[in-house]
């Protein structure tokens, strides 16, 4: 789906990408910018990385800007929306990519399920679910006013099969997938059939949040957990950020104009493998 028919598919559209400074969503933000979209890269604490995405898009002749925002604060999101509308006057695409896991919300030999800190568990649950919900509350009315929009939530294969150790992350992504279905129906029935809502469900992709679980910090070799993951991935490797470009652009394009309220799994076959 990374073909020529998408090269100018997004010209004239404005895409807001939360988590845009992260490994996965920065790749999608660049891909949209390369295909004509104006990109608003929303970051929280790594604004230098968000600016790098902006520089890349501008370097290929596109338009972009970086804005700092907290997806767990509706007032912060409102500021982002106001700045976006002031600069570009519309929002056609919303990618809810802010999320991730924390070591403190992950069980290990040193940290049992019974001792997981309340603050860490709450943070991971809220970031992966409420962050998207609040962002849709803020940007949804803009799309309703336009009578057009496309929302793409970043869920996870963990929503289908809870990952061992990552209790809060798996639960948060399951809630996000459910919310994706709910919001798709709600937007169509209450507001407009021209606003689509879908989700991506990546499998095991290397990110800053999960690297500590699957790669040895010193050698860079797969940990015992990393080896188990690779053994249960039919394609035999971790996902690369570029592997998400085709599925994401398809969901956001008119080629998927009848795809609504669904979650597309991109996991190298993990969810299809029974282990034998």
| Contact present, 213 and 165 (Cβ < 8 Å) | yes
Six-digit token string for 199: 């989700």
Say how far apart CA 217 and CA 69 lie, in whole Å: 30
- Buried b / exposed e across 232-261, counting CB within 10 Å, b at 16+? ebeeeebbebebbbebbbbbbbeebeeebb
Residue 191 annotated to the active site: no
Catalytic residue among 88, 169, 191, 204: 169
| Contact present, 66 and 121 (Cβ < 8 Å) | no
| Contact present, 97 and 18 (Cβ < 8 Å) | yes
Active site (catalytic) residues: 169
């Amino acid at each position: 789906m990374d073909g020529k028919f998408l090269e100018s598919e997004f010209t004239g559209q404005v895409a807001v990408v939360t988590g845009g400074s992260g490994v996965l969503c920065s790749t999608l933000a660049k891909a949209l910018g390369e295909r004509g979209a104006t990109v608003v890269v929303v970051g929280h604490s790594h604004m230098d990385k968000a600016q790098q995405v902006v520089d890349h898009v501008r370097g290929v002749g596109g338009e972009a800007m970086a804005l700092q925002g907290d997806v767990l604060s509706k007032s912060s999101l409102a500021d982002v929306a106001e700045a976006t509308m002031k600069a570009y006057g519309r929002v056609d695409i919303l990618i809810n990519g802010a999320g991730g896991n924390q070591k403190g919300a992950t069980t290990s030999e040193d940290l049992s399920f019974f001792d997981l800190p309340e603050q860490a568990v709450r943070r991971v649950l809220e970031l992966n679910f409420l962050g998207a919900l609040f962002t849709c509350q803020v940007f949804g009315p803009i799309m309703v006013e336009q009578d057009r929009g496309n929302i793409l939530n970043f869920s996870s294969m963990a929503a289908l099969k809870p990952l061992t150790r990552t209790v809060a992350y798996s639960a948060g992504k399951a809630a996000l997938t459910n919310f994706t279905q709910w919001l798709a129906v709600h937007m169509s029935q209450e507001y407009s059939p021209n606003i689509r809502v879908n989700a991506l469900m990546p499998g095991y992709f290397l990110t800053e949040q999960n690297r500590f679980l699957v790669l040895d910090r010193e050698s860079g070799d797969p940990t015992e957990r990393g080896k188990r993951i690779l053994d249960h991935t039919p394609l035999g490797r971790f996902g690369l950020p570029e592997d998400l470009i085709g599925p994401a652009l398809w969901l956001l394009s008119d080629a998927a104009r009848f795809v609504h309220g669904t979650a597309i799994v991109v996991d190298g076959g993990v969810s299809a493998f029974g282990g034998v």
